[in-house]
Amino acid sequence: MNNKSILPAIWDVPDVFRRRLGDQAGRQRVMQADGHLLIVLHQPPKPGEKIRIGRYFWRDAKGEWNSSDLGSGDGVLVRHLGQYAAAIDRLEKREEAAEGSAAYFQVISDLSPLLRATRNLQAVLQQAREMGDNHKVLINARDQAYELERKAELLYNEAKNELDFAIAQQTERQAESSHRMSISAHRLNVLAAFFFPIVTLATIFGADLHHGFEDWNAPWPFLAMTGMGLLLGLLLWAFVSSPIESAKRVQRDHSEARPPRDPGR
């Protein structure tokens, strides 16, 4: 059992609060009884963390605030929200430095639980404000939680758009590569078809013609023929592998169509 997931024993809270809490925090929520207000929140979820660690905020009947692990005073909720802001800022820096679909997917995976927790946090603080007679601490915390939720949602959408763009770009590159290979194969097939009849006839009837260079200044005729063959092969390779205009156009369109970042985030 996690000690941080139960109320501190020194808190003089109504017994109904302790009876409604189990060994773990459960969902984020707010309770009210006898002028006391208890807010059950979650610490910012860490990457790969499966169980949410609870954090409790108690406002007694005198209006004084206490927390389970962030001290006391009116600033306890501000400190809690500051941890969420720091976690979102870290993911924002990772998203800005991300390159490739794997990096964006990891940012989205780490951001998803943080976005859900922030969204529920804002809803709980809104409910607490309604129960807390418009207490200024709750109003400010609610407004700050709304800004955090908006920032996390914008970051999530931007990372998802970047991931979709990276996947689409890679798919188009693969399609363009397949297109280039098919054109190269077609060019080779055309060349093979053009020379196939003469090669077949030469194979059947033979074409061992005397040209007078058999014994002339050996081995220079052979070396000249080999060099000419390599040169022609190089020219043929350059022709078959020459870039296709559509590939250049696709790359240019990718650079121009990259989605701009949201300046208002």
CA atoms of 57 and 37, how far apart (whole Å): 8
- CA–centroid distance for 54 within its chain: 27
At residue 91, the pLDDT reads 92
pLDDT averaged over the chain? 82
Could you read off the pLDDT of 191-225 as tens digits, one per residue? 777 777 777 766 776 666 666 666 777 777 777 87
Q: Are 47 and 110 in contact (CB under 8 A)?
A: yes
Percent helix, strand, coil in the chain, to 5, is 60, 10, 30
At residue 119, the pLDDT reads 94
**57 pLDDT above the threshold of 90:** yes
Q: Is the peptide bond before 47 cis (omega within 30 degrees of 0)?
A: no
At residue 247, the pLDDT reads 47
Q: What average pLDDT does the segment 236-256 reach?
A: 60
pTM: 0.69
